[in-house]
Amino acid sequence: MLRIREELGDCQRCKLASGRRNLVFGVGNPAAELLLVGEAPGRQEDETGEPFVGRSGRLLTRMLGTLGLERRDVYICNVIKCRPPGNRDPEPDEVAACSPFVHRQIQTVAPKVILALGRFAARTVIDVDAPLSRLRGRDASYHHIPIVATYHPSFLLRTPVMKREAWRDLLRVRRLLAAAPAG
Ligand code: URA
């Protein structure tokens, strides 16, 4: 994992570099059984260099709690490592420049389950251009690692009525973790 971070270095591969305060690489257990992928850092993540530390991060920590997990038990990263201005959606050239690194992070952690947070992360790991409604609940895998796609925590903060659905997705994560072979 250190090698990947070193390779990113003071990354200037896309235009997001000029506006960032910190590159947000990823945190947690590099040998985790569960890896979470989000979209891109927001303001607080850009300030601290850590993914999911703002309001949506606090909800994510609670979601992990329902699985009996703490942040340090899992690995958390984003598809895009630098904050898009005004939190706009990442653009195709930014995704093209940055996504090889999230793929390498996933391959290095080699988790038992991947939880993709939101449409953007789900599309990147499942590699299908479809709405989240079609990606949720379907069997998908990344090099034989099962993927569960769920709502992004910031969407859940805006639309709390969907939390029930997200809990269902988390139950699927729990079942998949329990079913995964040990070791
Ligand atoms: N939203 C994301 O997708 N990632 C973060 O790190 C923070 C907010």
- What is the tens place of the pLDDT at every residue in 25-63? 999 999 999 999 999 999 999 999 999 999 999 999 999
Separation between Cα atoms, residue 8 and residue 3, nearest integer Å:
9
40 lines ligand 1 (CB under 6 A): yes
36 lines ligand 1 (CB under 6 A): no
CB 174, CB 67: distance < 8 Å = yes
82 pLDDT higher than 80: yes
CB 125, CB 135: distance < 8 Å = no
182 falls in which pLDDT band (50, 70, 90)?
Answer: confident
- Per-residue pLDDT, averaged over 154-165, amounts to 97
State the DSSP code for 32: -
75 pLDDT higher than 80: yes
Name, in order, each residue with C-beta under 8 angstroms of 8's C-beta and a sequence gap of 6 or more: 23, 25, 81, 101
Q: Whose CA is nearest to atom 6 of ligand 1?
A: 51
- Per-residue pLDDT, averaged over 121-141, amounts to 90
Please tell me the pTM assigned to this model. 0.96
Atom of ligand 1 nearest to the CA of 152: 3
129 pLDDT higher than 90: no
